[in-house]
Amino acid sequence: MAYRLKALTPIHIHSGDVLQPMEYMVQDEEVLIFDEMDVIRSIKENELLNDELLRSYAFSSKRSEYYKNLDYYINKGIIDDSIVDKYKVKAVNRSADLNGKQIYRTMRNIQGTYIPGSSIKGVIRTAILYDYVLKKDIDYIKEAVDFIERNRRSRFSIDDYIIYFTNTKKDNKKNIQGDPFKFLIVRDVNMAKNEVVIYDETIYNINRFITGNTIEAIKEGDYTESFKFEIIANEKNSQSLNKKVEYNLDLIKYLNTKEIMRVLYQFSNDIIEDEIEYFKQQNNKLFNSKEVVKKLEEIKDKNSIDSPVIRIGKGKGYKSNTLGLAIKKLDKDYYNREIKNIAKPYKYRERYEFPKTRNFVGSSVSPKLLGFTILEKVD
């Protein structure tokens, strides 16, 4: 069976690349993005040693007043205006102010934007471990936390305990050959339309707003090319492998399409319900939590076993990345009491449930959450 992912909200998976102001310009509510080498080649020969231009390249500070956008240098006659026709990407501009700002780019290859297979596989992995933990009890989690504490120098996670040490508690060395998820292969998938939007990211912290990065995001409504899950091991043929490498055989039972779809649906359903619970509790008059709740309820209605929602990329939050929600559902009091030791947050005020922050793009009047996609079957 072939599938595709469709973006239900903006998607940003940071590539590590950051656009400098000299590599883009704003024109008619669009952002034109250029190749750095094309910009350099367009500098007029008599301006190569221009002090203002050299300072712009030399500064390492993030303060926007040190930088000028490309159109500034064009208007001053430092860069030839023929560069305008050489843009590589045209993005919709939803930033309040791009003057001198760096733009954090989403993942892209020679064909355009894409979603890494590792991101998709990562969600599947977390969803499987989530379902596995929910079938245990809180004592299993306590055993895992105790094991991690006894081996703190190794910096193990609860995920590590489930995969590598459930059946081999006496061995405190992680054998990556025992990871059953190596039998699940998901390739990178390109986006079909390659439409991107530039947003200002904000961190909502209950009673205040923290300015985040300016990001390039895949536009909601775009979708990937079709792809398949490749599973190269199952419960039957993995028995022989268990004689050579000891690992958690129960996890192999999840490695079939039916189970993958089921756990993705359940994990997303619980994540969305937890997000709705969080935003319904917010009463900051400057933040339109009602609009967020409405959007989350629409996404929840779309989520199904045949077509599960998957949240990927930046801004999806601690509970989407970890087994934190599973611990909360097993024992909420234990979660609230011990999460500071499990997650080890830099700062944590215990009168709020961890995590107390959420990321969004757009304005606080019309905020958009990041990362929601839906897995659709392709005929």
Q: Is 126 found in the same domain as 32?
A: no
Domain of residue 42 covers: 21-101
Q: Is 319 found in the same domain as 274?
A: yes
Query: Is pLDDT above 80 for 50?
Result: no
The pTM assigned to this predicted structure is: 0.91
Q: Is 147 found in the same domain as 57?
A: no
Phi, psi of 79 (to 5 degrees): -115, 135
Q: Is 149 found in the same domain as 80?
A: no
User: Does residue 231 belong to any structural domain of this protein?
Assistant: yes
In the chain, the number of structural domains is 2
Average pLDDT of the residues of the chain: 88
Query: Which of 49-63, 68-82, 119-133, 135-149 shows the highest mean pLDDT?
Result: 119-133
* Strand partners for 25: 32
- By the 10 Å C-beta count (0-12 exposed, 13-18 middle, 19+ buried), 45 is classed as exposed
User: Does residue 214 belong to any structural domain of this protein?
Assistant: yes
Rounded CA-CA distance 247/249 in Å is 6
Pick the last residue of a domain from 54, 75, 101.
101
Q: Is 271 found in the same domain as 183?
A: yes
* Residue-level length of the chain: 379
User: Does residue 146 belong to any structural domain of this protein?
Assistant: yes
Q: Is 67 found in the same domain as 202?
A: no
Q: Is 141 found in the same domain as 57?
A: no
Q: Is 93 found in the same domain as 41?
A: yes
Pick the last residue of a domain from 76, 101, 126.
101
Helix axes 117-134, 257-280, angle to 10 degrees: 80
User: Does residue 75 belong to any structural domain of this protein?
Assistant: yes
Q: Is 6 found in the same domain as 135?
A: yes
Long-range contact pairs involving 47-52 (C-beta distance under 8 Å, separation at least 24): 47/77, 47/78, 47/79, 50/78, 52/78
Rounded CA-CA distance 56/51 in Å is 9
Q: Where are the alpha helices (DSSP H) in 98-179?
A: 117-134, 138-150, 158-160
User: Does residue 253 belong to any structural domain of this protein?
Assistant: yes
Pick the last residue of a domain from 101, 124, 155.
101
Q: Is 361 found in the same domain as 229?
A: yes
Q: Is 170 found in the same domain as 78?
A: no
User: Does residue 318 belong to any structural domain of this protein?
Assistant: yes
pLDDT in tens, 196-238: 999 999 999 878 899 999 999 999 999 999 999 999 876 566 6
pLDDT in tens, 267-278: 999 999 999 999
Q: Which residues of 101-136 are buried (b: 16+ CB within 10 A; e: fewer)?
A: bbbbbbbbeeeebbbbbebbbebbbbbbbbbbbbee
User: Does residue 108 belong to any structural domain of this protein?
Assistant: no
Query: Is pLDDT above 90 for 34?
Result: yes
Greater pLDDT, 62 or 272: 272
Rounded CA-CA distance 171/357 in Å is 37
Rounded CA-CA distance 218/198 in Å is 9
Q: Is 122 found in the same domain as 26?
A: no
